[in-house]
Amino acid sequence: MKRPNIVYVLADQLGYQHCGYAGNPRARTPNIDRLASQGINFRQAVSSMPVCSAYRASLFTGKYTTSTGMVINELRMNPHHVCLAHVLTEAGYETAYIGKWHLYANQLGNHLDPKNSFTPRGPYRLGFDGYWASYGFHHEYYGAYYHTESPHKIPYPDGTYEPDAQTDQAIEFVKSH
């Protein structure tokens, strides 16, 4: 039997009530609605910390933010935690990470510096050892960029909306695996 694909969509500031599948008649979220209709939804799940980095650390480790040390944004996650990607790799899955990482920072408050945006291959990728197209953190949705294996910024094509480009990368990864 073929194992299912596991896809997490982490959309900052997107709440359950903002989606059409949740019953919001004004929401225009056809792709998320389609994912919801074909997948498993955790409708009762909540974040113990409504802060980006802290939430991601909790999601990937299954621990409270006080156990991960990620209680604010712009910190560097301790790589010694057993994370979701480690468990998936041990189970034979190929892992990939596409999009905002926000779990590795070299300097507080220096968002745009490439050395702050790039996460080198190794333990700070928390087990995501396969395909990597990520950036630390920024809020540029047009004219955005990502990194693969070096601090060199790889720009998305001019005029490309970043979530669309990331979706295309994710679809390509799933199709090729």
Domain identity same for 129 and 146: yes
What is the residue range of 149's domain? 47-176
Spatial contact of 118 and 101, defined as CB atoms under 8 Å apart: no
Domain identity same for 90 and 117: yes
Q: pLDDT by residue (tens digit) across 18-48? A: 999 999 999 999 989 998 999 888 878 777 7
Q: Which residues are catalytic?
A: 52, 102
Domain identity same for 86 and 165: yes
Range name among 5-9, 77-81, 124-128 with the lowest pLDDT average: 5-9
Domain identity same for 70 and 11: no
Query: What's the pLDDT score for residue 112?
Result: 65
Question: What 8-state DSSP symbol labels residue 12?
Answer: T
- Confidence band of 169 (pLDDT split at 50, 70, 90): very high
Domain identity same for 105 and 168: yes
Domain identity same for 41 and 58: no
Residue 152, pLDDT > 80, answer yes
Query: What's the pLDDT score for residue 62?
Result: 94
- Confidence band of 114 (pLDDT split at 50, 70, 90): low
- Measure CA of the first residue to CA of the last residue in the chain; give whole Å: 15
Domain identity same for 22 and 2: yes
CATH code, 95: 3.40.720.10
Instruction: Give the mean pLDDT of the chain.
Output: 89
- Counted domains in the chain: 2
Reference 55, options 44, 45, 43, 41; nearest CA is 45
Domain identity same for 153 and 83: yes
Domain identity same for 35 and 113: no
